[in-house]
Every structure is written in structure tokens, then in C-alpha cells.
Amino acid sequence: METNQWLLIMAAGVVALPAIVAGLTIGRITSRSVDAIARQPEAGSRIQSVTLLGAALAEATAIYGLFVAIIMLFLRWS
Amino acid sequence: MDIGEEIKHILEPENIFTFRIGGVEVGVRNSVIAMWILTLVLVVVVRLLVKKLETVPGKRQNLVEAFVEMINNFVRNNAGEHHYREIAPYIGTIILFIGFMNMGALFNLVPDPGEIYDITGWGFLQKLPVVRIFPPTKDINITFGLAVFSVGMVFYKTLKIKKIRGGLHTFVEPVGLMLPFKMLDYVVRPLSLTLRMFGNVMAAYIMIELIYIAFPLVIPGVLGLYFDVFDGILQAFIFTFLTMLYMAEALE
């Protein structure tokens, strides 16, 4: 069916695009945090806290994409 | 075994039993019963750990005191000196509760009777019930309840410490124009907390189930160390950290 094919293609796109952006963002966060720790090792624990928090917040948007794809495929809101 | 059927069975939870209150029929889901079982195990473990408290601590009490000290320091560093005594018990409870619930897939020790029937062919195995412990947070309703409870607790602590007039004053705190944004915060924050935990736990559980269908022997246990344990504890920590940040921001 034509509707079914488009649903699958769009669901794959909805998952892939946020995942790409989240991966790049988390890579950038980690790189900056490693630079900051190398510059001032005493603040290491606090920088680690903030890094983990930023990474989890950035990853949440990728999870929103997965959630939308699950709703699209399994609840048939086409 | 059909993979589509398995995933559909995981995604749509079922009622185990229903009962009536007044004229309303209330159904009890299998995730609620899994939460009861895990809570019971957690209560028994904690009761055993705090059995006899002495002034000179033994080995068990050292562990418990180290954990309480860690939570207190964590809250004190992030939320300020004055109010950490009001916040720290709730934060410790939430991180223990959610961390223990997310690791619930490790307790899945009883195999399905259907699988043993496929191997041996004994007839009585077809009538046994399927007992499977899974992390209850893979159901979005439980996660939504926890998120609403956390944000409600933030609001309650604000009202209790700052007394009703001060609590309503935080809505217009820096500039009066922030009123719609602050009200929107109380809608958006539970939603993002819900979806973050639900998405992570559900994705990890589906991944482990699919790997278990493909290679049942050693690989699910090894990969489960990352997917179940690390991911579960990290998500519990993130939930707790964000709740603490919201409380610190509201009480400041």
C-alpha cells in the first residue's frame, strides 16, 4: 500500500534526524568539557556534573523522535 | 516467533485484574504489580541495612552513612546551605526508588513456561502463568505519575517555605513579563521528565528482548550490564538532578 510505505520512510526519517543532531551536540559538549578540565583540574567534579546534565538534556530530544516514530508505527495515526 | 507481535506485546500493557469502586471500574496493570513487588524487595533490603544503629558504626552502618553523606553533600552543593534539610530526604528517596525500579530487568530469573514446553513437551506447562519482572517505568503512566509528583513537590515546598504570598510572587520574580513563561514551565517540565525516562527505559528493554530472541545464551547478560544497569542508574540520576535543580531555582 502506498500509505504504508510512506509511513515507514517518514518514521525512519523522524528517528534519524534528531539522532544525528544529538550525536553531534553531545560530541561538542564532551570536547568543550575536556578542554575545561584540562585548563583547571580542581573544578573537575563540578564540570563533570554539568557535562552529564547537558548530555542527558541533549539526548532527550533524540528520545522524543523515537517516541513519535513508535506512535506513528504502532498506533496507526496515518 | 514473530518480532512484531513481541514488540506489540511489550508496548501495550494489559490489565491483570479489575475491581470496582462505587460505579467506576478500575483496572490494575501488570506494571503496577511489578512496582509493588520491587517496592517490597526494596523495603526488606533497607530494613535489613538499618537494623541496629550504634554510635561506633560497623560495616553495614558505614555503607548507609556514606550514602546519606553523599546525598547531603550533593544537595548542599547545588541547592545552597539554608534549605537542604527540607530537600535531601525526598531526593534520596527518589534516587533509590527509581534506580532500583529501573534495574528490575535483572531480577527476571524465572523462565517462561512456553519456552520449556517447546523443548520438553510436558503438558502441564501450558497452564502455568507467565511471571516476568520488568522495569515498571517502561509504562508511560507510571513515569507520568512520578514526574507530576516531583513537580507537585517542588510547588508544595515553595508554598511551605515562602508562605503563600511569596510562593505566588515567584511567578513574577525577575520581571512581570515572565508570568506566561513560568506557567508554561509547569506544563513542559513534567512532560519532558516523563518522555525522557520512558523513552530510555523502553528502548533499553526492547533492545535486550530482541537480543534475547536472537542469541539467548551469554550476550544478553553482558550487554545487559550497559543497557539495564548503567542506563537505568543514569536516568534515575538525571531525573533526581533535574528535580533538585527545579527546587533550588524555586527556593532561591
Burial class from Cβ neighbours inside 10 Å (0-12, 13-18, 19+) for residue B137 reads: buried
For chain B, what is the domain count?
1
pLDDT above 70 coverage of chain B, percent? 94
Are B199 and A66 an interchain contact pair (Cβ–Cβ within 8 Å)? yes
Of B210, B203, B226, B194, nearest in space to B98 by CA: B194
Task: Give pLDDT, residue A17.
Answer: 95
Of B72, B238, B75, nearest in space to B147 by CA: B238
| Angle (deg, nearest 10), helices A44-74 and A2-39 | 180
Higher pLDDT, A78 or B174: B174
Chain B residue whose CA is closest to A66: B199
The mean predicted confidence, pLDDT, of chain A is: 86
| Domains by residue range for chain A, with CATH | 2-74 (1.20.20.10)
Of B130, B100, B92, B94, nearest in space to B201 by CA: B100
Of A52, A63, A74, the CB nearest to B195: A63
Q: Which residue range is the domain that position B172 belongs to?
A: 3-250
Among the residue ranges B5-14, B30-39, B222-231, the one predicted with the least confidence is B5-14
Is it the case that residue B51 has pLDDT exceeding 60?
Answer: yes
Confidence of residue A76 (pLDDT cuts 50, 70, 90): low
The mean predicted confidence, pLDDT, of chain B is: 84
User: Residue A52: its chain B contacts at CB < 8 A?
Assistant: 234, 237-238
Chain A residue whose CA is closest to B195: A64
Contact B51, B44 (CB under 8 A): no
Return d(Cα B89, Cα B72) in angstroms, integer: 9
